[in-house]
Structures are given as C-alpha cells and as structure tokens.
Structure 1
C-alpha cells in the first residue's frame, strides 16, 4: 500500500538518479561524439515543453472542453514541420553570435538594446513565475491525490512545497552554473531532462494503454463509447471545436520558441543543423503520442468518476488508484513529477541567465564596481549572482503558489504563461523578416503588449470579484490574448515607420574610426578574462589567433574585437558585452558614437567575410575539409560531402578526423592496407604537418586527387578533386598512342583525299565564278554597247533636228524603248550581282538636305507631268550609308509612287527615331492589300492594278531595293491601306559626331561648271558607232575631238596632234587590250600622265578598285550625256585646282 512517505522517498531516489546522470554527463561527456545519440538527446530535451499541464491538465481540459486540449500539441508540431526554416535560421544565427537567452536574441536584433533586453527579461520572469508555480502545484496535487486514497496525511504539508522548490533550485544551481559561458552546452543537464522526457512518455503511454486495453476493450471500444453516449459525442464531435481553439493554437506555436526554457533547449543548446533535422520528426511524434492518448484517458475518467467529485486534472493518477494499480500509480506520479521538475529546472536556469545578464550585470557595470575592482576576476562573482537569481526565481514561484486558488485549473495557468511568452513573437518575427523594424518600435510594441497582458489577463487571475474588477474590461481570455498580440505587432510597425532611427555614417566621417586599433590584445584579454576567466580567455584567443603566445602589445584587429565581444556575449549577454567593450574602448580615446560605430562595423565586416567564405567554399568544384590542431573537423563544404558519399548525419562540427578515416577504411577507400596501420599512418602524417598529394581509386569507379597542406597556426586543409574525367581522357590517349602509327597513316590518307576534294571543289567554284564574272562583263559590254550608241544618236537627233509632229513622236518612242531596254538589262545585272555578292558598299556621311534636293529636282517634273504634287520635307542632319545604293532605294520608292498614283500627291519626308532616321515616301494611290505586302518584294511580281493602269515594268525594282537594304543592314517597311495609299520607308543610321569629324563632307554649294570649249578630247572605242556618236556630242559642246579604235590608232593620233586635254577610253577593246593598258602606253609615249575617264559596262568592284588605283575617273554605260558632261567638267576642274 502506497503512503506519502514512500512517494517522497521514491521522488528523492529519482532526483538522485537524475543528479547522477547529470553529473556523469558533465564529467564523462557521455556519447559526446555519437551524432545520433546526441540528436536524440536534443530531441527529447525539447519535450521539456510537456509540463504538468500537458501531463495532468490536458486530460482535465479534454474532459471539460473536448478538443480544447489539442492546440498545445498541434501548435508546436506544426511549427517544427512547416516552420522548420524559421527555427533553423534562429538557431544557426544564435549559435554564431553566442546568444544566451531569448532576451539576448531580441536585443541583439535591435542593436543590442539594453532596454529591450530588460523589457523581455521582466516580462519573461512575470510570465514564467506562475508557470513554475503551476509545476509545484502539479507535484503537490499528485501527492495529495495519492495521500487521500490511502487516508494518510501529507507529510510536511505546510513546508513540503518550499522544500521541493529549494531542492529544484539546488539542482538547477549545480548543473546550470558550472561555468560562466551561458552559451556553452549543459550536457549533463540535458541528459537529465532527456531522461525525464523518457519517463514522462513511458508513464503516459502505460496509462493510456492500460485505459485502452484495460478499462476499454481496444480502440474500437473507445470509439463505440463515444458514439453510444450523446454527451461524449457532442464533446468529441469532429465538427465542434471549442471557443478560442485558433487563438490557443497561435499561442502554442509561439510558445515553443518564445518560452524562455524552450528557447534555451531549442536554440542555446543547439549544436548542429542535423540534430535539428532529426528533432523535426522525433519531437512532433512525441507530441502525437500524448495527443492520441489524452482522449481515451479523459473518457475513462468521465465514465469511471461520473457523479463523483473528482478533479479532471487528476484523472491520470485517479484511474490507476481506482483500479488498484499501485505500480502504475507510482509510474504516473513519476511521470507528472518528471514533467514538473524538468520544467522548473530548465526555466530557472534560463530565467537566471536573463536576470543576471540583462538586469544585475548592467547595474553592476553602472555602479562602478568593475572600476573599483580594477582588473580583478569577476567570473566567480557573476556565478554567485546567477545562483542567487535561480534561488530568487524559485522562491517567487513558491510565493505565487501560495496565492493560487485551489480551484484554478492547470490549463488556465499554462495559457496565462503562454500568452505572456507570445508577446516576444512580434518583435522576433517582424525583426527577422522586416529590416525597417527598429528599436523604438520594438520597445513600444513590447511595452504595450506586456501591459495589455498584465491588465487583461494576469491581474484578473489574482482577483475574482471585488472593487478592482470594476475597472477591468469584461472580455474573455482569448480576446485579451489576441488583442495584446495585435496591439504589440501594430505598435512595432507603426512606430518603426513614424520614428525611423538614423543610421551611423557609412564612411566613418568624424567619428574617429580611423583609430580603430586603439585596444591591444593584452587589454582585450584582460577585459574579457575578468568575466569569462583569464585561462579560458587565453585559450580562446590563442585558438582564434592561431598562436599559443600572442604579443600582448599588438593592436587587436576588428575581427579579434568581434571575437572578444562574442566571448563576452556568451557569458554576460550581447547587450552587456557591448557595454563592457564600449567602456574599454572609450577609455582608450574613442567617443561613444565612434565605439558603437566601430563595433557595428566590425560585426558587419566579420559577418560579411564569413558569409562570403561559406558561399565561395560551397560553390567550389573541389571538396574541402579543414581540421584544427587537435585533428577535429572544423570546416567543410557541400562538395566534400558529395564526393565522400557519407551517410546522413555522419559529419558534424568538432568530430575527430580519425572517425572519418576509419569510416573510409571500412568502406574500402584505403585499398588493401591493413586498417589499423593505414589509419595510424594517416593520423601520424596529419600530426607531422607535412604536405601531401596523391591519387586514389574512389567510390563508383571514380578517381580522386587528394591534396593536403598544413595551416600556419596548426591544423590541416585537405582538398578532394574528382579527376575521373581526366583519367578517362588519359586512358583514351594511351589507347590511341598504342595504335597511333596505323591511325596516322589512315588519317593522312583520308586527309589527303579530303584536301584533294576540297581543292577540286574550290577550283570548280572559282572557275564558275570567273565564268560568271566574264559572262556578266561580256553581257554588260555586248548588250549595252549598241544601246549606248543608239542613245547617243537619239540625243544628237533631238538636239540638232528639233523633230516635230510624227517625227517627234517616233523619236520619243525610240528613246522610251531604249530606256526600257536599258532599265531591264541594268535590273537583271543588278539582281545577279547582288545575289553573287559582287557589290561592295562604300558607306559615308550623307547630307539629308542634299539627298532630298537631288531627288526633288529629278522627280518634280515627272510628278508635274502626271498632274501630281510632290512635296519634300528634309531635316538638317546627316546619315551614314552608301549614297548611290540608298539613292536607288528612295528613287525606286518615288518612281513607284508617281507611277501608281492617279490623283493627289506624293510626299518624301523623314523622322528621327532614336539614333536612326526613317525616310518615308507617302502616296495617295490605289494602295496594296495586306496579302500582297510580302510578295511585291519578289522578282517579276506585279500586282493586277499595275496592269490595269497600263504601267510598264518587270517587277524587279522592289526586289532590288530589298536586296540593297539587306546588304546595307537597313530596314524596309511598308504600310498601306487599299484605296487610300501606301507608305514605303527605309531606316538609316544617323551619322555620329565621330563620323562627322573623320569625314569631310563634299561641298554642296553649286558652283559654275567649267567650260568645255576648246577642250581637246581623245575618244578610244572599238565600236565605230560609239565613236561617231561621241564625236557629234562632244563637238556640240565645243570640244576638239580625236578618234581612235585601238592602241595603235591612239598612239598615232598623239604623235600627230600632240597630247590631248582629256582621254575618254572604253575599258574593253577588241584587240584583247583594255583601256588602262592603252593609257599606260600613251603615258610612256608622251612621258607625262594624261587625265582619263574610263568608260565600261562592267560593274565589278575589282575593276572599280583598279581604275581608282590609276587615279582615273570611272563612268558606267549606258552613257547619259548629262552625266558625261558633269564628269568631264569635274575632272578638268580638279586638274586646275
């Protein structure tokens, strides 16, 4: 039969076991290098969340509200499953900054604000003390229930809660303040908490299974009981959630990170992301077991104790007692005892760190105690402060326990603490994701939120009726909780927007930052050592600097100052650490603003460099692993893990490299070497500090190149490069080399054949091209020669005879026929040359006004003949193109516009578009259907209406324009509307200032043409008709004409008549000589160089270059008299210049 004293003895024995586990964990560091075990310990330590509320109170809540107990289990599980990245981000950044508490974390985000740290600490203490008192109540409730069942009185009934509180405080002091670095992991304490989590789970699971299979007949019977009882069906209906379910879900999600004890175990005790990944699944599964078993236990209690005065919060203990299960009763008591004591111990440790770092320590710094004690070691004093804080917090909880009303449910007290901790969530989350949130907003939000919580939630829990309640608003708990959170978040956002904080000057301006080396290593060591302990500080700085004996007089670098601040932050919090370093630097000559700027700059610089290094390493193609002087793994990149192919959760920070070498040996990566000898050889090599490099077969047939080099301060960096691809190439090269001679002969033969085929193809292509060129030249010469002669005779006939009537009409028709034939031949030749690439554009600067004026003069008479009005609108600017080719495009546009416009007019204009000029020709003609807009640019394509208008043409003009535009990289555009007209445009680049500066534009001012009278001209052509026509034309201009059919005749004329003033020579002569050869002969004969105009139908660029090199003028057939006269005038003018 159980009695109260036996319970006390069992509790004492259990506490002794916890003490032994914690002591062993601290001293022996149980499984310190076993990753999976450490991850499980971390996951189970998170279950300190399951307090006496979740052990006892959840069943009581289910019995009264149905599903009202679920939020406390679902909320944390959802956050771990869905908000894992948030937890990871907070945990990783806190580890890097050596954060010691939730107050430290929030203060660090807002510029290490001491005010925020104090606010969070006070709110945490006020909100946690009722929760700690709740645990004392839970333990006492368990003892009282068992005592009532035996009829015995509770031993030490008046003082037992006090003794219990003192015992728990003693446990927390022994294992929570073993060293000053609060950010250091309390391994022993976490082992004890993990054991308590196992006991909680075993107890609750045992009770649940007993109820399901002992009280009920399995899960089916539990479900049937619910269906058979209307009250139970209504209570646990899936469509009926109790009031405030959503609010409590939000509070529970916030509590898992914001409760001081939860932040401590989840963040401060966090070591590695892989532990968090395992906890992501273990912790929700742990909560799921509790959530599943709560309902059957509450149903059993409601069924068993129906009509009896049994508190639902005690069903977990009352059921084993009712069914006479003493062993299960003891287990249930130990489960509740574990739930309560684990929470009290961890919460006390976490709160004591916050109180000592953020309240007591700043008061000591301001009181001048640190200056009065000079450089004395203050670490022991601070440890005493922390221990006194633990005792004080526990006693406060005991006092609150004394005023708790006996009938207050456990769940209501737990929710009260949850809502207090939730006030930290807005500052945490908004500060994490919104960079504009500032200290003013956080202070205001926290103040409003905590004040609202105090008046709406905490104060009503003390007073039930009485005069003070008249001044309190009549709202529910859920409404008050949500109102406080909303006001908190809104205040942070609004105040941050309305009161933005000024940033420190980016350049350091007159802040004195140029003296950022004012503190020496020795002074930094003494400053940090006073709080952390001199020996611990010396070891930490030596590791950081990579030297055992750093020079004390050396100036500390920004990175070292940042490291010292982080060491201090791990002991006294980030806000106090900033205060200590600010004081030290201020005494060395820096002003307060400069000190803060220096520390902020240092923080940012170190953070940036670290992130840059991590990013660089993770994006390398090589695997990198770094070990320290103790041969422990301290750094690696993602590629290293991929190349090594390690199983998940194998590699962790601080892992002895010997473990990984042994793992590699077990996987066969050391070859045929003896395992112990191979491992020892590699460890000895690393210790020797000698560099090495070798290649080794690796996993999956790969080949790895491994290169190691010692670090200056001790340690080793090793790189792993996958060289499989290079080895494959090397092997292929070796195979190729073995049969190289045979392959060389074979390839040589194939190469010769290929070269011969290419040469034959090249020769064929060149021959075809030469044939085509000869054909074009011959066609040009032979076809255009008679037309040229006819053109000259018609011109003379019209000038001399002045034909009238029928004779005039015949002459006009002959002229038109010749013109049509010339245009046809020229178009065909142009198409052929454009397609063969024989044109070589000569772009240059063109004056727009001159170009438009030339077009106006030519086409205005044509437009007037058709009763059309031609309007020309140039701009005063310059473009860059081939003048002749561009002229041909616009000329064709204008000719087509005049030809196919019956009434109205034609306009030539332009508009600047960016760095280009869009030249357009508008007409009021018949227009073009959209289906014909592409086809009109094809050869020999004419539209139906062109034939109806009886306009002559072959449909080659636009095809030539399109080819010229593509050759010049100009864009042609067409817009047309049938019945209204068309607009053809060409877009040409504007001439830049550099082009204008480099090219001298031709003088566009018309001058008086040189007179040709009395000019002696020698005409050389193998066609008599051409010579006759030329003679008649030149004589009308007042020239004296000498005629020659070949080189011999020309030489004879020169000998008899002397040197002519100008020579007009055809390039292609019948005696297989050419005009340039004849000119060279005449120059040698006369001993002087004669000016000449070479006349030809050949439009090849080669001929043009050849004529230009001889400094002769070039005139292409068919000859137009006006063009010939202008060229002769210009040639003679240049000779006189």
Structure 2
C-alpha cells in the first residue's frame, strides 16, 4: 500500500537525482561536447513539450473525445518533418545574433522594438501561467488519487502545491540563472531535462505495455474491444474527427516554436545543424510512441472503470492502482512528475530571461538607474532580477491553480496556453517571409490578437463570459482561437501596408548635430562590462580583436561595435543592447541619427567583407573548393576550375561532390586502381571530417599538393597547390645530397655513441645526487631525533629548578650546548642542501616597508640589549624575490652587525640602482681588513676579533648567505674600513608591473591565545624517550596526553579514550609508514577532520607542500617548547 508521504519522499529523491545530473552536466570533464551525444540530448530536451497534459490529459481527452488528443502530437511532428528548414533558419539566425528569447527574436526582426518585446513578454507570461498551474494541478491530483486509493489523505493538506512550486522555482534558479549570458547553453539543465524525457517515455511505455499485454491480450484484443462495442466504435472511428481538430493542430504546430520554453530548448540551446538532423526524426518518433499508446490506455480505463466516478485524466494512475501494481504506480507517478517539473523549470527560466531583458532592463535604462551607477557592475543585479522573476511567476501560477475549478480538464488548460503562444506566430512568420512587414503592423497584430485571446478565451476560463456581449459569449474555444489568430494576422498585413517602415526607426528626436567623435575600445569595454563583468568582457574583446591587451585609447571599428552589440544582446536582449550602445555613442558626441546610421551600417560592412572575401579567393594562386555537410559543392574559386581543367558547365552550385570525383577518376586524376573504390574512399574521408594532406602526380607531369580540413559547422574545404617547380628543385637537391649521405651516416653514428656516453654519465650523476638527497634526509632525521628528546627533557628541567640553583645553571649550560649543536647541524645541512640544489626558490612580490618592519621588530630589542641604536630607512618599493630566503640574508647581516659593534649603531636602508634595489646594512663596528673580505664567506672562517670577543658564532652564516644569494640570482657586496665599520649589501630586482598580480596578501595573526587546559592530545612517535618528554611537557600545560608508537597503538588509544582534540604526529615512523598516511587513516576512523601538527627533521619543500595541502601544521625538529605551544594554539584557533 503506497502512502502519499512515500511518494513525496520518492519525488524528493528524484529531484535530488536531477540536481546531481544537472551538476554533472555542467562539469568540464564530461564529454558533453561530443556532437552525437549533444544531438541526442538536444532531441530529448525538445520533449519538454510533453507535459502532464500529454502524460495524463491526452488519455483523458481520448476517453472523452476519441481522436481529440491527436492534434497535439501530429502538429509538432509535421513541423519537424516538413518545416525543418524554417526551424533551422530561425535557429541559425538566433545563434548568430545571440538571441535570448522569442521576445528578443521578434523584436530584433522589427528594428529591436522595445514595444514589441514588452508585448510578447507580457503575453508570454500571462499565457504561460495557466500552463504552469496545469503542472501543479497534475502532480497534486496524482498524489490525491494515490492517497485516496490507499485511504490516506494527501499530506501537507492544501499547501502541497505551494511547496511544490517553491521547490521547482529553486531548481530553476540554481541551474537556470548561473550566468548572465542568457544565450549561453545551460548544459546541466538540459541534461536534467533530457533525463526527465527518458523517464516520461519509460513510464508511459511501461503502462502502455502493461495495458496491452496485461489488461488486454495484445493489440488484436485491443482492436477487438473497439469493434465489439458500438460506443467505442463511434468514439474511435477514423472517419469521425472531433470538432476543432484542424485549429488545434495549427496551435500545436505554433506551440513547438512559440511557447517560451520550446523556443528556449529548440532555438536558444541550439548549437549546430547536426542536432536538428537527429531531432527531425527522433522527436517525432518520441511523440509517436505516446500517440500509439494513448488509445489502449484510454480503452483500459473505460472498460475497467465503467460506471465508476473516475476522472479520465487519472486513468494513467488509476489503472496500475486498480490492478495492484505498486511498482508500476510509482513509475507512473514519476513519469507524470517528470512531465510537470521539466515544463515548469524550463518555462520559468525562459520567462525570467524575457522579463529581465525586455521589461526590467529597459525600465532601468530609462529611469537612469543604470546610468547613475557609472561603471558599476549590473550583472549580479540582473541575475537577481531573473531569480525573483522565476519565484514570482511560479507563485502567480500557484494562485491561478487555486482560482480555477477543480474539475477543469487538463487538456482545456493546455490549449488555453497554446492559443496564447500562437499569437506570436503571425508577427514571427510574416516577418520572416515578407520584408514589407512593419513594426506598426507587428504591434497592431500582437495587441489585437492578445486582446482577443484575453476576451474570448481567458475570461471564459474564469467563468466570466457573462460580462461579454451575447454575440461573443457563445463562442466555443476553437472558434475563439481561430478568430484571435485571424484578427492578429490581418492586422499585421493591413497595418504594414498602410504604415510601412521608412527606415531604421529611432525613439529619439532627430538632430542636425555633426558627429564629433566615436567610441574608444576602453569606453566600449567599460559599457559592456557593466552588464557582463569586466573579465568576461575583456576576454571576449581580446578574442575578437586577436590581441592579448587591446589598446583602450584606440577607436572601435564598426565591426567591433557590432560584435559588442551582439555580446550585450546575449545578456540583456537585442533591444536593450541597442539602447545601451546608442546611449554610449550619443555621449561621445554622435547625434541620434548618426548613432543609428552607424549601427545599421555594420550589416553593410559585413556584406562588403563577404564580397571582399570572394574577390580574394578568385585572386589566390591556390585552387579552393568548399562542400557542405551534405557533400554538395557550395563554393570555389577561378583557380580551382583552371587547375582541374573542368569543361564549361560541369561545375555548378549544389552539385554533389561525388559527381566531380567520378569525373576526375574517368580522367585518371585520382591515382591508379579501381575507380569506384578510389571514389568511395575519398567520400568516406570527407564524411569522417578528418584533416588530410597528400601529394598527387598527374598524367600531364604536374605535382599537386592537396590539403583538406573540416569546417566547424559541417562540411569540408580543400585547397590545391601546384608544387611542380618545388618538386623539381627537391629532386635536384636529393641528387646533390646522395654523395653526402654516407659521411652523414658515419658522423651520426659517432655522435650517437658520444650521446650514449653522456647519457650514461648523466644517469650516474643523477643516481649519486639521489643518494645524496636520501642521505641528507636520513641525516636530518637520525641526528636531530636524539637532540629533540634532549631538548624536551631540558625544557622540563628548566621549569623544575629554581633560577639561582646550581642545577639550574647546569641545565642552562646544557641548553646552550644543545642550541649550539643544533645550530651547527642545521647550518651544515643547509649548506649541503644549497650545494646539492635541493632548495627551490619561490619568488614573489614583496613590499619593502613590510619586510623592513618585520626586521625592525625582530632586532630592535637585541640592539637595545647591546646599548646600540637600530635605525631603519625604508622606501615605498616593491621587489621580486623569495621572501624567506631574502629575510634570512638580511637577518644574518643584522645579527653580525649587532654582534660586532660595541658602540654607535646599526642602519638598515635601501637605494634604487637601475632596475634593482640595493638593500644595505651599515654598522659602526671594528670593520674588516681588505685581506679578509673574501675569506669571511668561506665555511668556519672567523675573524680574530670575534674570537677575542668570545663570540659563539659558527663561521657559517655568511657562507650560507653567499650560497642563497647565488641561488636567487642576486648580487652581494661588502665595503669596510677597519675601525669605522662595515656595509653588507644585496641587490634585489624591482618588481615589474606584470608581477604585481603575484602579490600575496598577508594574513592576519590572531591576537588571542587559546588555552590548552583539558585538551586531549594524541602523540605519535617511534622514539619512547621523545614520547616521555612530550608527555611531561604537555601535562605541565594542562593537557590530557595519549601516547602511541605506531598506527595500531594510535587506533587503540582512540578506541579507548575517544577522538583527540589535537594530534602531534612524527613524520618518520619505524613501520615504514609516514605520519601523513597515519593521519589519513585516523581521519577516516574518526570521520572528522582531526587537527594535527606534523613534526619532522625533513626540510624538503616537497614535504612542506604535502603538509600544506592537507592543512596540517608543520614543526621542524628539534622542538622548541615555545614554538610548539604557539603552533598548537594557532592550529586550534584556525579550526
């Protein structure tokens, strides 16, 4: 037994699946751009035409009127099969002009008229509201039918349609208003709609097959049922078509193009003709499946529920319920749900684009809202308008749903919307095929047609026909629809004849002002960027102009202005785009007439360019032939005819290229072998669309280079080049080179042997370097491990002893000795890594003021302790270097200056020297003798004066600075006078303008320190001594400590004591695993992103990058307690 809540859960899960499919469809890694896949998706998306009317209402219509359901299937199928050229013409034109909606298309035909765009938009919204309400009615009715059959009331009482409307609006907002450009393809949304079309087809097919082979005994039994019942014979007699069959078929044909959602999927989402080629057959076949199954399902409902009060519109659901087919009932519900949701989503997206572009945008422009914002980016504002429009339209449809009577058939509501959309057909079709159709005629036709629809069709749907004159109150729906279309078409024709367009219209008053200037590329870019965003506009203009950075001060050409207008039209519609550019040009000094003349002359420029192209082709030395996707000749030049020596009259436009290939084969121009086989091989090559290049020797001695390339929209272009003279020269050169061939081979063999020796030596060197790298990593870990443990224990002892105690002094000495050993080992490892090339500098832009301030804060207290004055003279300059390595150089300079200066002071300053900044550190110390200036940069070299001062330095600092400077490509210098002081300098390149984008924004450091009391900390290290020291240190800080030597013990600790608040993880563990792998396992075990600090002696940048990607802290060994506590606090603060 199916509970209504179960159906709602299924519906929610299904919507979640649609979200997933739409998300996947928007991903770049999906092969959605494959032409065959896209053509299938396009064809299936057209089936958004099949709504809950076709899913539920068609069966109800068949049960009550017989063949009354057929027009909605025959009309679109006929248009696809017979009128495909009309659809292709509209689609290609709309794609090229970046048309966004049917209102945009009709307005564009009539001079981008705002009035027409508004009329179409308002009529489309009013006409679509009943159709959207129909979908809400279909879903709600299906849930009520299932709930009634099971004895459960429909959930959420009367609010179910509201929640449904809000949910569908949310889906449409998420996947239909992600980009400002409405002419872009909503791939994810189309994927979801195509999937829904498959679900509809599968559900209806399953119900139909169940009826034919479950309720009846096959098609013969269905036919026998009709023959044996007079009522059914009369209902489904092939000679008895219901009233209005013809007008309803016309309405359905118009709907496939004029319904906003159908125009969107068929025209706006169109890419190339291959999609229409498949859709021409696939979409009618889709409709045929539905049409064939409607009658059997209607018969099953009539026979099963004879004498019962069952609404025929619910037969699709009632039949599986009556036969206790729960799975089939759920499938039928999902089919109807798909039919309804697909229509609502696409319709609201299409209508929102029309409202935004054709109503809101013009109001913004005319009210000054857009103009008063200067260069403000309005794209997000317009996106919000579209989202609000979707929500508003859906809610109005919900109100209409409550306003109509519960018993109104679904078919009548659908036909009401069809007849509203059909009012766009006269202006669209007459404007396409009759150049005399005028703007005034289109406005008159739309106004009268929509008014007639309101009076004759919409008011009666609300039972308000009593307010109509008696002569109109008795009209049937079919009569009202016919009369409204006739009035519409007649008005378009007659008013166009009496009030023809006299040229490009302007809504501004004419002026005699002479043009004083044109718009620059920068001004055009800023105008468009307000609606599309600066980056997207800049990229589009750069692609159009084939320049990375177009010159803003250059004047925009007419073709560039036309491109900008099309670019704008894709986002705000053609009418608003023309207004925006008209305003921009007018502000540059052009009068209204000159502005419109300039914009309209761009089309003449395109025609001139086409003629120029033809002239250019005729004067080329190469022969050129172009075939279309149907392999028919559509273009060639005079040289092609001459080279191929075609007789007069052989070549003509539209000629199958197969005829030309056979003609050439008969003359021996396609090579030896069977002529038929060679002909088919070339045709297959053209069909495959693969580029090729070959040389062919003809019987008259000429050598031709033939090169073919596919065209983006289908077709092939082939060029023929006579290379006979070049081939003759090539043969002569070949004879000359034959004598050199032997010597070249000999030298090649010698060179090969030498290269093999070099390669072998290189491999040996690389192996040695890798061994050295592994040794350094191992040394870093093994040597620093015991020091790390000793450091932890010394830290604990220092906290336990009294400051004046003898043991405290011993501990202090041990600490100093450990510090010296650590510094010595770290310096030796740094020198080794610098010499082996293990460091990879990461240069970035650095603000000098920021760098100097860091150094001042670091060394000001140290200078004060030595009773010295530290002065810093900075400059507002930007340099380009590795921040950490440069800081280390300057840190060493300052530390040495303070160490070897007894009185006076230290100065840190900088000077610009060409394209570099010279950063210097001056001191008033003892100075350095000339003979010592080179020696001080050698390892372990210390001055005699330093030894007299009992300096504890290692003599490695300047050696490291020299290596870092060399690695960075900087220059370092020294000037010194004994007894007066020294000056160490480093030259750092100034940052160029192109580097400023690399500047990193400094991150703020939290000012508060989190408390560590009661923090559960898991320590993982393979050294028991280190674990013991860590436990004693952390417990003094108030932490609860868990200890583990490997993954198994760590897992056990978590299972016994719960998830820790922080993990201190050694990187190198004894079981050949590393700390990052262990952390990944522990996070999977706890199912939480555990905060962690990785502790290691490995200083490789590769490890640092791995830790950074996982967002862990990183602490180098040996551990300093203050650094550990600070990093623990910072890690916890960042969670």
Change (3 A) 1:624 1:545: farther
Q: How does 1:258-297 map to 2 (within 5 A)?
A: 258-297=258-297
Residue 638 of structure 1: how far off its partner (Å): 7.0
Change (3 A) 1:616 1:137: farther
Q: Is residue 117 from structure 1 mapped to residue 117 from structure 2 by the alignment?
A: yes
The structure with the largest alpha-carbon Rg is 1
Aligned length: 669
Change (3 A) 1:560 1:409: same
Q: How does 1:58-207 map to 2 (within 5 A)?
A: 58-207=58-207
- Give the Cα separation in 2 of the matches to 1:139 and 1:718: 50
Residue 27 of structure 1: how far off its partner (Å): 2.4
1:1069-1089 CA deviation, whole Å, 9 max, x = no partner?
xxxxxxxxxxxxxxxxxxxxx
- Give the Cα separation in 1 of the matches to 2:372 and 2:600: 29
Verify the 8 A CA contact 1:617 1:637 in the aligned structure 2. Answer: no
Verify the 8 A CA contact 1:51 1:135 in the aligned structure 2. Answer: yes
- Give the Cα separation in 1 of the matches to 2:293 and 2:209: 8
- Give the Cα separation in 1 of the matches to 2:337 and 2:586: 51
1:400-455 CA deviation, whole Å, 9 max, x = no partner?
01111001000000000000000000000000000000100000000000000000
1:1089-1113 CA deviation, whole Å, 9 max, x = no partner?
xxxxxxxxxxxxxxxxxxxxxxxxx
- Give the Cα separation in 2 of the matches to 1:265 and 1:312: 31
- Give 3-state SS (helix, strand or coil) of 1:310's partner: coil
Q: Is residue 578 from structure 1 mapped to residue 568 from structure 2 by the alignment?
A: no
TM-score in terms of structure 2 length: 0.56
- Give the Cα separation in 1 of the matches to 2:530 and 2:322: 60
- Give 3-state SS (helix, strand or coil) of 1:622's partner: strand
Give the equivalent residue in structure 2 for 1:417: 417
Q: How does 1:286-325 map to 2 (within 5 A)?
A: 286-325=286-325
Give the equivalent residue in structure 1 for 2:236: 236
Q: How does 1:716-735 map to 2 (within 5 A)?
A: 720-721=718-719
Verify the 8 A CA contact 2:95 2:268 in the aligned structure 1. Answer: yes
Q: How does 1:842-857 map to 2 (within 5 A)?
A: none
- Give the Cα separation in 2 of the matches to 1:462 and 1:354: 26
Verify the 8 A CA contact 1:316 1:332 in the aligned structure 2. Answer: yes
Verify the 8 A CA contact 2:261 2:343 in the aligned structure 1. Answer: yes
- Give the Cα separation in 1 of the matches to 2:614 and 2:150: 65
Q: How does 1:513-528 map to 2 (within 5 A)?
A: 515=515, 518-528=518-528
Residue 2 of structure 1: how far off its partner (Å): 0.9
Verify the 8 A CA contact 1:180 1:532 in the aligned structure 2. Answer: yes
TM-score in terms of structure 1 length: 0.56
> Please, what is the CA RMSD of the aligned residues?
3.5
Identify unmatched segments of 5+ residues in structure 2: 641-653, 659-679, 683-689, 710-714, 729-1135
Verify the 8 A CA contact 2:5 2:155 in the aligned structure 1. Answer: yes
Verify the 8 A CA contact 1:517 1:556 in the aligned structure 2. Answer: no
Verify the 8 A CA contact 1:512 1:590 in the aligned structure 2. Answer: no
Residue 287 of structure 1: how far off its partner (Å): 0.4
Give the equivalent residue in structure 2 for 1:46: 46
Verify the 8 A CA contact 1:513 1:598 in the aligned structure 2. Answer: no
Q: How does 1:631-650 map to 2 (within 5 A)?
A: none
Residue 600 of structure 1: how far off its partner (Å): 1.6
- Give 3-state SS (helix, strand or coil) of 1:158's partner: helix
Give the equivalent residue in structure 2 for 1:606: 606
- Give the Cα separation in 2 of the matches to 1:451 and 1:315: 36
Give the equivalent residue in structure 1 for 2:533: 533
Verify the 8 A CA contact 2:362 2:576 in the aligned structure 1. Answer: yes
Change (3 A) 1:467 1:493: closer
- Give 3-state SS (helix, strand or coil) of 2:473's partner: coil
Residue 617 of structure 1: how far off its partner (Å): 7.7
- Give the Cα separation in 1 of the matches to 2:442 and 2:716: 46
Q: How does 1:784-803 map to 2 (within 5 A)?
A: none
- Give 3-state SS (helix, strand or coil) of 1:118's partner: helix
Residue 159 of structure 1: how far off its partner (Å): 1.1
- Give the Cα separation in 2 of the matches to 1:147 and 1:718: 60
- Give the Cα separation in 2 of the matches to 1:505 and 1:407: 49
Change (3 A) 1:505 1:211: closer
- Give 3-state SS (helix, strand or coil) of 1:423's partner: helix
- Give the Cα separation in 2 of the matches to 1:458 and 1:505: 34
Q: How does 1:1015-1026 map to 2 (within 5 A)?
A: none
Residue 623 of structure 1: how far off its partner (Å): 4.8
Change (3 A) 1:203 1:613: farther
Q: Is residue 400 from structure 1 mapped to residue 424 from structure 2 by the alignment?
A: no
- Give the Cα separation in 2 of the matches to 1:334 and 1:697: 65
Give the equivalent residue in structure 1 for 2:446: 446
Change (3 A) 1:367 1:197: same
Verify the 8 A CA contact 2:39 2:279 in the aligned structure 1. Answer: yes
Give the equivalent residue in structure 1 for 2:479: 479
- Give 3-state SS (helix, strand or coil) of 2:695's partner: strand
Change (3 A) 1:326 1:415: same
Verify the 8 A CA contact 1:517 1:555 in the aligned structure 2. Answer: no
Residue 223 of structure 1: how far off its partner (Å): 0.6
Verify the 8 A CA contact 1:70 1:291 in the aligned structure 2. Answer: yes
- Give the Cα separation in 1 of the matches to 2:152 and 2:16: 25
Verify the 8 A CA contact 1:212 1:222 in the aligned structure 2. Answer: yes
Give the equivalent residue in structure 2 for 1:590: 590
- Give the Cα separation in 2 of the matches to 1:21 and 1:703: 55
Residue 705 of structure 1: how far off its partner (Å): 2.0
- Give 3-state SS (helix, strand or coil) of 2:551's partner: coil
Residue 33 of structure 1: how far off its partner (Å): 2.6
Verify the 8 A CA contact 1:516 1:598 in the aligned structure 2. Answer: no
- Give the Cα separation in 2 of the matches to 1:615 and 1:428: 35
Give the equivalent residue in structure 1 for 2:461: 461
Change (3 A) 1:465 1:433: closer
Verify the 8 A CA contact 2:519 2:588 in the aligned structure 1. Answer: yes
- Give the Cα separation in 2 of the matches to 1:136 and 1:476: 26
- Give the Cα separation in 1 of the matches to 2:703 and 2:657: 12
Verify the 8 A CA contact 1:29 1:187 in the aligned structure 2. Answer: no
Give the equivalent residue in structure 2 for 1:622: 624
1:7-47 CA deviation, whole Å, 9 max, x = no partner?
00000000000001101111236322311110000000000
Q: How does 1:1119-1134 map to 2 (within 5 A)?
A: none
Change (3 A) 1:504 1:326: closer
- Give the Cα separation in 2 of the matches to 1:555 and 1:90: 33
- Give the Cα separation in 2 of the matches to 1:363 and 1:614: 44
Change (3 A) 1:258 1:29: farther
Verify the 8 A CA contact 2:627 2:657 in the aligned structure 1. Answer: no
Verify the 8 A CA contact 2:437 2:496 in the aligned structure 1. Answer: yes
Residue 720 of structure 1: how far off its partner (Å): 3.4
Give the equivalent residue in structure 2 for 1:390: 390
- Give the Cα separation in 2 of the matches to 1:697 and 1:293: 62
- Give the Cα separation in 1 of the matches to 2:499 and 2:201: 50
- Give the Cα separation in 2 of the matches to 1:519 and 1:249: 51
Residue 598 of structure 1: how far off its partner (Å): 1.5
Residue 500 of structure 1: how far off its partner (Å): 1.4
Identify unmatched segments of 5+ residues in structure 1: 627-635, 646-666, 670-678, 683-691, 710-716, 731-1137
Q: How does 1:603-1002 map to 2 (within 5 A)?
A: 603-606=603-606, 609=609, 622-623=624-625, 695=695, 705-706=705-706, 720-721=718-719
Residue 597 of structure 1: how far off its partner (Å): 1.9
Residue 339 of structure 1: how far off its partner (Å): 0.2
- Give the Cα separation in 1 of the matches to 2:449 and 2:332: 38
- Give the Cα separation in 1 of the matches to 2:73 and 2:104: 27
Change (3 A) 1:643 1:86: closer
Verify the 8 A CA contact 1:517 1:557 in the aligned structure 2. Answer: no
Verify the 8 A CA contact 2:693 2:706 in the aligned structure 1. Answer: yes
- Give the Cα separation in 2 of the matches to 1:285 and 1:186: 25
Residue 643 of structure 1: how far off its partner (Å): 12
Give the equivalent residue in structure 2 for 1:330: 330
